[in-house]
C-alpha cells in the first residue's frame, strides 16, 4: 500500500501548546504544514487537518485512508486509540511531542498519557528533539521516535537597515519560559549604547500563562522617551515573515525550546539573531545565556549587521532541514527509529 501521511491537530485544548491548533498561524500548525509540504514535494501523499475533538478523528481517517496518522501534541486520550485501532487496524498512529521536558512538565497529564501510549502496540510516540527522545525513553522504558521539524528553504539575503530606529523583534507566544522581560531589558540597554531610539516588537495577542510577563513589559517601556513597545497581532505565516523582515535583530533567548520556528523565520529572512543554546541548530556565536542580560547584549553587538553570521545560521538551518527530510522519508519507508549522530559538534 502506498504511504499516505495524515497530520491531525486539535482546534483548541486546555493543554498548553496544543491550544492554538485552530489558528492557521500557530507554530504547531506551521510545523505540521512544513513537514507535510516537504513530504508532498518528495512524492509522499500527505495532508494536514484540524478537528474539533477526539470524536472527529475517525471521520478524517476514513475519508483520507492514511497509512500513518500523526497526532500533533498531546490531546487524544489514550482510551480513544483502542477504539480507533479497531476501526482502522492497518493505520500506524504516532503522537508527536513538540516540547522539551521543562515545558512538558507543565502539562499535568503528559507522562501518564505518554506511558499509556507506548504500551499500546499500534501507537508510537515521537519527539521533535533528540533530548526529548532520550528523556522519554528513560521515563517510559520504550523506544521513542525522532521526527524533527523541517523548515522550507526560501532564504533571503541580509540587507543593512537605514532606519532611524533600532527594530528588535521578540516574537512568538508570551510565556514565562520565553524570557521576554529580560530580552526587553537587554534591548533597551543595547539601544542606549547605540544611542538610537528603540522599537521592541512582540506579539501582544498570544498570551499563554504570560499575563504577568506582558504586564511587566508594558511597565518597562511606559514613559520611556526613546523606546516603544510595539504589540503586533498574531498573523498568518505569510504576513508574519514580512514583519520579521523589517527587524534589525530578532531575539529568541528562551529557557526551553525544541526548534523555534520564529528563530528560523528570522534566519530565513536574512535577519541577525540572538537566541540561546536551546536552539541547537543555530551558530554558537548567536547563542546567549537566557538569564544573563550582559551576555544577551554582548551577543547583540556580535550580531548587528553581521552578514557572515547570518549566512552561517542560514547554512546550519539548511543542513538541519536536509537531515530532517532524510529522517522523515526513511521513517515512512519503514525505519522506525533513526539513530542520528550529532549534527553540530
Domain ranges within the chain, ordered by starting residue = 4-147, 166-316
Q: Find the mean pLDDT for residues 78-90.
A: 96
**Under DSSP, is residue 5 helix (H, G, I), strand (E, B) or coil?**
strand
Res. 338 pLDDT band, cuts 50 70 90 = very low
**Can you tell me which residue has the cell 515573515?**
241
**Cα–Cα distance list, 164 to 84, 100, 193, 198, 219 (Å):** 58, 39, 15, 9, 24
Q: What is the pLDDT of residue 12?
A: 62
Nearest in space to 26 (alpha carbons), one of 239, 203, 234, 202: 234
pLDDT averaged over the chain?
A: 91
CA distances from 171 to 160, 183, 235, 297 (A): 21, 11, 11, 18
Q: Residue range 318-337: average pLDDT?
A: 86
What pLDDT is attached to residue 154?
A: 83
Could you tell me which of 203, 201, 200 has the C-alpha nearest to residue 192? 200
Give the CATH number of domain 166-316; options: 3.40.50.10140, 2.130.10.10, 3.40.50.2000, 1.10.287.1770. Answer: 3.40.50.2000
Task: Report the interhelical angle of 27-41 vs 307-332 (nearest 10°).
Answer: 70
Confidence of residue 341 (pLDDT cuts 50, 70, 90): very low
Q: Do domains 4-147 and 166-316 have the same CATH topology?
A: yes
Give the class (CATH, top level) of 4-147: alpha beta
Amino acid at each position: 500500500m502506498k504511504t499516505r501521511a495524515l497530520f491531525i491537530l486539535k482546534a483548541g485544548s486546555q493543554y498548553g501548546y496544543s491550544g492554538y491548533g485552530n489558528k492557521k498561524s500557530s507554530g504547531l500548525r506551521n510545523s505540521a504544514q512544513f513537514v507535510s509540504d516537504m513530504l508532498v514535494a518528495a512524492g509522499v501523499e500527505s495532508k494536514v487537518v484540524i478537528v474539533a475533538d477526539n470524536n472527529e478523528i475517525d471521520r478524517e481517517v476514513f475519508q483520507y485512508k492514511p497509512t500513518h496518522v500523526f497526532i500533533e501534541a498531546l490531546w487524544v486520550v489514550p482510551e480513544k486509540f483502542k477504539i480507533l485501532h479497531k476501526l482502522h487496524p492497518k493505520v500506524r498512529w504516532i503522537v508527536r511531542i513538540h516540547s522539551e521536558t521543562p515545558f512538558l512538565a507543565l502539562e499535568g497529564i503528559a507522562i501518564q498519557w505518554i506511558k499509556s501510549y507506548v504500551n499500546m502496540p499500534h501507537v508510537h510516540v515521537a519527539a521533535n528533539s533528540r533530548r526529548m527522545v532520550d528523556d522519554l525513553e528513560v521515563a517510559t522504558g520504550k523506544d521513542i521516535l525522532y521526527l524533527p521539524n523541517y523548515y522550507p528553504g526560501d532564504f533571503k539575503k541580509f540587507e543593512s537597515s537605514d532606519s532611524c530606529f533600532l527594530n528588535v523583534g521578540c516574537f512568538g507566544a508570551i510565556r514565562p519560559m520565553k524570557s521576554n522581560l529580560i530580552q526587553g531589558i537587554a534591548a533597551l540597554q543595547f539601544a542606549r549604547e547605540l544611542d538610537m531610539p528603540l522599537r521592541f516588537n512582540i506579539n501582544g495577542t498570544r498570551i499563554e500563562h504570560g499575563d504577568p510577563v506582558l504586564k511587566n513589559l508594558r511597565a518597562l517601556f511606559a514613559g520611556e522617551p526613546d523606546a516603544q513597545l510595539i504589540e503586533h497581532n498574531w498573523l498568518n505565516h505569510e504576513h508574519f515573515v514580512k514583519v520579521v523582515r523589517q527587524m534589525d535583530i530578532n531575539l529568541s533567548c528562551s529557557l526551553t525550546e525544541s526548534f523555534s520556528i520564529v528563530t528560523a523565520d528570522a534566519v530565513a529572512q536574512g535577519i541577525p539573531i540572538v537566541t540561546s543554546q536551546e536552539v541547537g541548530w543555530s551558530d554558537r556565536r548567536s547563542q546567549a545565556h537566557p538569564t544573563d542580560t550582559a551576555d544577551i547584549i554582548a551577543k547583540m553587538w556580535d550580531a548587528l549587521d553581521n552578514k557572515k553570521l547570518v549566512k552561517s545560521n542560514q547554512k546550519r538551518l539548511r543542513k538541519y532541514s536536509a537531515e530532517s527530510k532524510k529522517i522523515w522519508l526513511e521513517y515512512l519507508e519503514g525505519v522506525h527509529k533513526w539513530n542520528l549522530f550529532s549534527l553540530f559538534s
